[in-house]
A and B are shown apart, each in its own frame.
Chain A
Amino acid sequence: MPAAAIEARDVGRRYGRRWALARLDLIVPEGSFFLLVGANGSGKTTFLRLAASAEQRNRGELAVFGQDPARRAENLRAHVALLSHKAGLYEDLSARENLELLAGLASMEPRIAEWLAAVQLEDRPDPVRCFSAGMRKRLAFARLIAQRPRLALIDEPYGQLDPVGFDLVDGLMHTLRDQGATVVIASHLVERASRQADTALVLHQGTPRWQGPARKVPAAWAAVHRVPA
């Protein structure tokens, strides 16, 4: 049985008096493709941020590659990459400069042309400030794949993209898998995302409602939203 990339037991995170995520148990095997679905505010983003050590959980146990992200953040961050709602880009720098900065800080070889080609972005001198939302998303993806993470956490991979972009993203996620990465995505494009993933979890108002093979997600989603909360 492959080692677990993520193991969560009774994980909870609250903001003030609201539990954004609670009672979460899951195991994401290494090398697999895991899908989190849920409506806005269901806790998907929260979970991704916890796994990325961007936030701390309030209860439960969480292990990423066997280590607690709350305590071993420094070690884990080198192997985990998060693509969040905010693109994490410097608006006054160009796409190339943002990637060069990434390469320099992470002591990587700067293969800018390759990374930009992978996301079908032109190497323009314009600052990111002039980019459309779709272009920003592509650059954020370039940033992600450049890091060659062991665990890729992607929040709404299809957000802000057109159908051509959707195909691109599917291709990128395959590339990540081919590189041996574990991919966890959160999406509310249920139909499309469930075709890519191995296993899935449906979240509703912060709590897990169903877990199982990804192909059953559309039915599970419908069931969750039929059953009163």
Chain B
Amino acid sequence: MNQLRWMLYKDLLIEWRGRARVAALSTFAVTLLLLFSFAVGPDTDALRTHAPAYLWLSVLTASTLLLTHGFKLEVESGAMEGLLLLPVSPRAIFYGKAIANMVLLLAVGVVALLVTLVLFDVTPRENPIWLLLILVLGTAGVSAPGTLYAGLTARLHAAQMVLPVLLFPLVVPCMVAAVRATSLVLGGDAMGQLDSWLWVLGCFDAIYWSLCGVLFGKVIG
């Protein structure tokens, strides 16, 4: 636990120092949202209906940059190896990094969400607090397998190419659930389906946060 706290502190401190990077990522996500609107055209109804999809696609795409960068820092100066030789438990390294990644992705997601609401002229029909919960569960769903795969591909030349290839198909259930849940909050949940989608997200997170924690040690070995 102690090691986990220190790892989390370290990752958040480094990101705070380099907070320009988070700003850059948020800008990237917002740019993607703009691109989606231009690609779809001025059909405001279509844009409004599909706003959740654009939001989550932007967040997912931004995540790959965030994830590969995080491990680049560890590998370039041998810092990660230094930790392993202390010894620091790989599980502490994983959970520290995954939580930090989630927090950062959440920050990017909040910015993207606010821009989405404005850009696509959407007002939530259900309690907007649900949106925050969906963001938390959704970013958690991307962050756990994302951190595992970022660690796995960190030493490959083609890291930035391979990570999306591995990660994107894997997080499809999480994306589907997150988009559906977001649509229900924005468009109204007449049939009370929101709970089921939140349950799907929760299960996805539970499975991957435990599985990836176990596997991470093998990956950075």
Residues in chain A within 8 A of chain B (CB atoms) = 52-54, 73-74, 77-78, 80-82, 84-93, 97, 101-102, 104-107, 127, 143, 147
Contact = CB atoms under 8 A, between A and B. Distances in A.
Contacts of B9: 101, 104
Interface string B11-24: 00110011000000
Nearest to B80: A88
Interface string B75-106: 01111011111111000000000000000000
B79 A92 contact: no
Given A52-B85, A73-B87, A86-B78, A92 B6 contact: no
Contacts, number: 69
Given A53-B85, A87-B78, A89-B82, 17 more contacts: A52-B85, A73-B87, A77-B85, A78-B87, A81-B85, A88-B82, A90-B10, A90-B77, A91-B76, A92-B17, A93-B13, A93-B14, A93-B17, A101-B6, A105-B2, A106-B86, A127-B17
Nearest to A103: B6
Q: 3 smallest A-B Cβ distances: which pairs? A: A88-B82, A86-B78, A77-B87
A93 B86 contact: no
Contacts of A52: 85
How many interface residues does chain B have, given as a range?
Answer: 20 to 34
A86 B10 contact: no
B73 interface: yes
B79 A90 contact: yes
Contacts of B18: 92
B123 interface: no
Contacts of A97: 13
Contact of B6 (A77, A86, A93, A104): A104
A81 B14 CA distance: 25
B44 interface: no
A118 B28 CA distance: 45
21 contacts: A74-B87, A77-B84, A77-B85, A78-B86, A84-B81, A86-B81, A87-B77, A87-B78, A88-B77, A88-B82, A89-B79, A89-B82, A91-B77, A92-B14, A92-B73, A102-B86, A104-B2, A105-B6, A105-B7, A105-B88, A106-B86
